[in-house]
Every structure is written in C-alpha cells, then in structure tokens.
C-alpha cells in the first residue's frame, strides 16, 4: 500500500510512538489490523489433548447398551491463548514450512465420523478426539486502512495454532471411546425417568 493515500489521524500526527503490544494483538485478533503472519520456521506438529466430540450416552438400563454414534470436531486457527483469529484460511498453516496468514474470516476445519460404542449399566459414554495440530511462531504485520501512530505497518511477535491433515510429519489424530460412572444426580434422573406411571382409575 502506498504511503500518503490516506490522511493521517490526529493521533498519528501528534505521537508517532509505537502502539502498545496489547493494542496490536487485539487489532490482529479482531481483523481491524488486517494482519498477516509470517512464520520464522517449520514450527511443530503435535497431537492435542483428548476432548469430547459427541453427545453423551447414559445407560439407565440393567444391561450393556451398544450403538453406533456420530462425532464431529470443528477447529479453526487460534493464537497461543486459544483465542480464535479473524484471519485467513487454515490451509497456509497446514502447509507448514512457510506459514503465511492473511486477513479475512478464518475457515473452520471440520472432521467427523462414526464409532461403535458400548456402555455398561449406570455408566456414561462419549467419543473423544485428540486432533493433530500445527504450532508456528513468527511475526504479525498490521496493514491498517488508516495509519495508527503515523504508520500502516507494525510488527509484533506471535504464535498461531491450527489443525492439519492426518499424516502431516508422520503423525495422526486419534479417536477413542471414553466412559465414566454416573453421578448421583444422573442415577436419580434415570430412576425418575423409568419410574412406573400410576394406573388410571
């Protein structure tokens, strides 16, 4: 963008000082800064902790319950604090070596599937997934429409985390069935749900 196209704001004309880092970070997160991200290197590919990606199945019966359950996991690009970024497609991060992100609405990466699950009496079951993620450290560059503190472009260090396809760096996501004992409240809810109805007179 050529300098001089837009008139400097009153703040820009009087200060020229670097904006606080938290201001630049907030503008990158919101999209106001129209930020791009340049990774310093390939970063690292890792499997994130397991988290629930399906509804819970409560077994209120006296025998095992088996069924096929669907799951869905929707992920997008976030910063190191886990805050979603109003930035570009996740694909540049997935590409790895030269991660570049441009301003624009972040696209979610959706994975889904079906798993057979068996839950014992008075247990709760669900499907959990540990997604494959890529973390890259580098620098954000702002591209303000109007100059901030006399400049359109400010740089700030940062980290982005985003989902990647299975097989990246020879690693894979994982899906598993998890179960636990019902709580006292859940047991009581099961009992009230299956309480015999009084016969009509």
pLDDT in tens, 72-119: 998 876 655 555 554 433 333 333 323 444 444 455 678 999 999 999
Within 13 A of 111's CA, how many CA atoms are on the CB side?
Answer: 18
Tell me which of 77 and 57 has the higher pLDDT: 57
Domain that holds residue 50: 19-192
Using only the alpha carbons of the chain, give its radius of gyration: 25
Lowest-pLDDT choice from 70-74, 161-165, 194-198: 194-198
Please tell me whether the overall predicted TM-score, pTM, comes out greater than 0.95 for this model: no
CA angle centred on 93, ends 84 and 131, rounded to 5°: 70
Mean predicted lDDT score pLDDT of the chain: 77
Mean pLDDT of 182-194: 88
Task: Let me know if residue 105 belongs to a domain.
Answer: yes
Task: Let me know if residue 168 belongs to a domain.
Answer: yes
Task: Let me know if residue 173 belongs to a domain.
Answer: yes
Task: Let me know if residue 57 belongs to a domain.
Answer: yes
Task: Let me know if residue 163 belongs to a domain.
Answer: yes
Task: Let me know if residue 150 belongs to a domain.
Answer: yes
Length of the chain in terms of residues written: 201
Task: Let me know if residue 172 belongs to a domain.
Answer: yes
DSSP 111: E
Lowest-pLDDT choice from 37-41, 136-140, 192-196: 192-196
Q: Name the domain count of the chain.
A: 1
Mean pLDDT of 10-16: 44
Task: Let me know if residue 38 belongs to a domain.
Answer: yes
């Amino acid at each position: 963008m050529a300098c001089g196209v837009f008139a400097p704001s009153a703040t820009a004309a009087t200060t020229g000082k670097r904006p606080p880092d938290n201001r630049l970070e907030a503008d990158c997160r919101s999209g106001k800064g129209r930020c791009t991200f340049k990774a310093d290197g390939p970063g690292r590919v890792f499997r994130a902790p397991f988290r629930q990606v399906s509804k819970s199945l409560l077994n209120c019966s006296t025998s095992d319950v088996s069924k096929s359950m669907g799951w869905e996991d929707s992920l997008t690009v976030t910063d190191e604090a886990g805050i979603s970024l109003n930035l570009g497609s996740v694909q540049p991060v997935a590409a790895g070596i030269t991660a570049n992100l441009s301003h624009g609405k972040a696209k979610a990466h959706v994975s889904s599937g079906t798993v057979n699950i068996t839950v014992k009496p008075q247990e709760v079951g669900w499907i959990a997934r540990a997604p494959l993620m890529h973390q890259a450290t580098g620098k954000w560059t702002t591209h303000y429409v109007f100059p901030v503190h006399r400049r359109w472009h400010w740089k700030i260090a940062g980290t982005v985390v985003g989902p990647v396809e299975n097989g990246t760096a020879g690693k894979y996501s994982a899906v598993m069935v998890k179960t636990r004992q019902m709580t006292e409240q859940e047991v009581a809810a099961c009992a009230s749900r299956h309480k015999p109805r009084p016969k009509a007179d």
